[in-house]
């Protein structure tokens, strides 16, 4: 006697193997069609919904992917795969909204260092993860003094974090004295960022005081400037083609120091210039 349940199980198994094979080949549109066929035969197939969600993500159909994973959770509320991917989809959605807001980039020439006037400072994350996730290399940011900290914001006024305190405290004094600065994202790595800061105006009362103390480094080579400029130009070009690149941090100087170096730096010199004022 023919058992229809056995036939359904055989068909389900056969189509599942086909869907997996298509996914491994990157044939996502075909994989979508096969998984949809499986669901028509077995509407409670959780694995088929998860595979369907994955395929939709790969072709950029995020709304459909969300629907597929939501259906998985309706069938199995504790499904880890569906929950994880729904979280990721939510982050992508928030990042896309943030990217539609005001954003501007600095030119590659912005990253050419000038002794005492430019420096690289680590961003200590304390702001919105979503706002920082939406940023890319060369995006312009704003610096704002709050107490003893320099807060970094995107151009929509969303807080990204604060500058590393040692250098940040120095800039607080200089900004309070009338100096002006511009800044941009110089590198991003798993939501960790470094900010390139440039002094654009020095108040006459602060003449002779470097924004970024200099330091002699025996292994420093003059080609650093050209490398940084080249990396910035390549990043901008690649981003126009839909790919994002990062500046090579391995060739950059320690945080808080100028791209160009001259003179002798001692750690106790950092705030020495302000000693007479305090």
Tens digits of per-residue pLDDT, 247-276?
333 334 444 444 433 333 333 444 445 554
End residue of a domain, out of 42, 65, 99: 99
Tens digits of per-residue pLDDT, 119-168?
999 998 765 567 787 788 889 999 999 999 999 999 888 899 999 998 89
Question: Do 69 and 112 share a structural domain?
Answer: no
End residue of a domain, out of 99, 123, 154: 99
Supply the CATH number for residue 198's domain.
3.30.70.2330
Question: Do 93 and 143 share a structural domain?
Answer: no
Rounded distance between C-alpha atoms, residue 70 and residue 82, angstroms: 7
Question: Do 95 and 73 share a structural domain?
Answer: yes
Question: Do 253 and 143 share a structural domain?
Answer: yes
Phi-psi region of 263 (alpha: psi -120 to 50; beta: other; left: phi over 0): left
- Regions of the chain short of the pLDDT cut 50: 1-2, 98, 216-272, 276-278
End residue of a domain, out of 82, 99, 116: 99
Give the range of the structural domain holding residue 16, as residue numbers without chain letter.
4-99
Question: Do 266 and 211 share a structural domain?
Answer: yes
Question: Do 262 and 182 share a structural domain?
Answer: yes
Question: Do 78 and 123 share a structural domain?
Answer: no
DSSP 171-220: HHHHHHTT-EEEEEEEEEETTEEEEEEEEEE--GGGTT--SS-----TT-
């Amino acid at each position: 006697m023919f058992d229809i349940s056995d036939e359904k199980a055989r068909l389900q198994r056969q189509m599942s193997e086909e869907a997996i094979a298509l996914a491994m080949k990157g044939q996502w549109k075909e994989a979508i069609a096969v998984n949809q066929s499986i669901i028509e035969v077995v509407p409670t197939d959780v694995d088929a919904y998860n595979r369907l969600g994955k395929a939709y993500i790969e072709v950029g159909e995020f709304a459909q992917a969300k629907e597929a994973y939501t259906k998985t959770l309706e069938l199995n509320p504790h499904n880890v795969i569906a929950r994880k991917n729904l979280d990721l989809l939510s982050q992508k959605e928030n990042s896309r909204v943030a990217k539609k807001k005001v954003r501007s980039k600095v030119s590659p020439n912005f990253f050419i260092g000038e002794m005492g006037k430019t420096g690289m400072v680590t961003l200590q994350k304390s702001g919105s993860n979503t706002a920082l996730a939406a940023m890319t290399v060369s995006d312009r940011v704003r610096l704002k003094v709050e107490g003893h900290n320099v807060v970094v914001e995107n151009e929509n006024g969303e807080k990204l974090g604060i500058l590393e305190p040692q250098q940040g405290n120095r800039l607080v004094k200089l900004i309070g004295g009338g100096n002006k600065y511009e800044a941009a994202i110089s590198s991003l790595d798993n939501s960790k960022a470094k900010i390139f800061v440039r002094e654009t105006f020095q108040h006459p009362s602060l003449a002779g005081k470097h924004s970024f103390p200099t330091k002699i480094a025996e292994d420093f080579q003059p080609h650093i400037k050209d490398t940084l400029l080249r990396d910035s130009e390549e990043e901008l070009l690649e981003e126009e083609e839909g790919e994002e690149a990062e500046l090579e941090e391995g060739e950059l100087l320690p945080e808080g120091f100028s791209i160009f170096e001259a003179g002798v730096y001692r750690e106790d010199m950092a705030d020495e210039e302000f000693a007479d004022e305090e």
